[in-house]
Amino acid sequence: MAWTWFHRLASPPHVYRLAERLTPWFAWSSALLILAGLYGGLVLAPPDYQQGEGFRIIYVHAPSAWMSLMVYTVMAVAAAVGLIWRMKVAHAVAASCAPVGASFTLAALVTGSLWGRPMWGTYWEWDPRLTSELILLFLYLGYMGLRSATEDVQRADRASAVLAVVGVVNVPIIHYSVLWWNSLHQAPSVMKLDKPSMPLDMLVPLLLMLLGFTLYFVAILLMRLRGEVLSRERNASWVKEALSR
């Protein structure tokens, strides 16, 4: 009984309809949260005592960096589910994730380097977090490259799923090896960008932005998922009904 929801998630027509119904809810609530977070972050939050107004980049940099990691995790979990239970819908979720994750990884890199210019005095520093982020971008590019190089959708699904799972095992290893490498080669960064105790009027907008971006991701994912499910479906009966709307 408890597993019926899981089985229904494996059914493409059910997922298509569910995604269609849920998308506007996620889209509008994320828009509200992001607008509130922007107002709080740009207007209400006081300037930082060390970085002045420059710290406000955090309200776009942190959500982008969070997206890059969260999306990769979602992608890898969906890929593993798809491999283990041979679930088409799970593969469709994984396939929907990659372009979103890659674009936000790029955003996190660029905003990070724009933040680094006034704080470190240089656009690029081989800081462990920026370096890991760069490697994450390469992982996304490899995943997308493998998908587009494989013509058969089912084979692309399963091959890229193996890559995503191998990648997610490697992400922590890469992160810690980069940290270790960095601590051997240079003194810790000039400025610690995250302070353990952030005042509440700075923290609340950040949390709003993080939640808003997460809901935004769900909305985008649901929209892409519908397309991916349709393109994997050869059974006409429900597709016809779905297209009539």
Partner 1 sequence: MSTSTVMQPAASSTSALTAARLVLERDLRLAFRKREQLVQPLAFFAIVTTLFPLSITPELSRLREIAPGVLWVAALLSSLLALEFLFRDDAQDGTLEQYALSGQSLTWLLFAKTAAHWLLTGLPLSLAAPFAAGALGAPASAWTGIVASVVLGTLALSLLGAIGAGLTLGVKRGGVLLSLLVLPLAMPILIFGSQATELAMKGASIAAPMYLLAALTVLGVTLAPIAAAAAVRISLE
Partner 2 sequence: MMEFLEMGGYARYVWPSYALTFAVVILNVVWARRALARSREQARRRLAMQEEPT
Q: Which residues bind partner 2 (CB under 8 A)?
A: 34, 42-43, 47, 52-54, 56-57, 60-61, 63-64, 99-100, 103-104, 106-107, 110-111, 114-115, 117-118, 216, 220, 223-224, 226-228, 230-231, 233-234, 236, 239-240, 243
Q: Using CB distances below 5 to 8 A depending on partner kind, what does residue 54 bind out of partner 1, partner 2, none?
A: partner 2
- Specify the residue, 159 or 223, whose C-beta has the smaller distance to partner 1: 159
What's the gap between Cα 23 and its chain centre?
A: 17
For residues 144 and 97, the answer to whether their CB atoms sit within 8 Å is: no
Q: Using CB distances below 5 to 8 A depending on partner kind, what does residue 169 bind out of partner 1, partner 2, none?
A: partner 1
Q: How far is the CB of 51 from partner 2 (least distance, A)?
A: 8
Looking at 3-11, 49-57, 101-109, 152-160, which segment touches partner 1 (CB under 8 A)?
152-160
Q: What is the widest separation between alpha-carbon atoms in the chain? A: 64
The residue type of 241 is: E
For residues 12 and 232, the answer to whether their CB atoms sit within 8 Å is: yes
Q: Using CB distances below 5 to 8 A depending on partner kind, what does residue 111 bind out of partner 2, partner 1, none?
A: partner 2
Distance (Å, whole) CA 204 – CA 37: 8
Dihedral sign for Cα atoms in the order 238, 228, 244, 28: positive
Distance (Å, whole) CA 6 – CA 74: 17
Distance (Å, whole) CA 245 – CA 239: 10
List residues binding partner 1 (CB under 8 A): 83-84, 135, 138-139, 141-142, 145-146, 149-150, 154-155, 158-159, 162-163, 165-167, 169-170, 173-174, 177-178, 180-181, 184
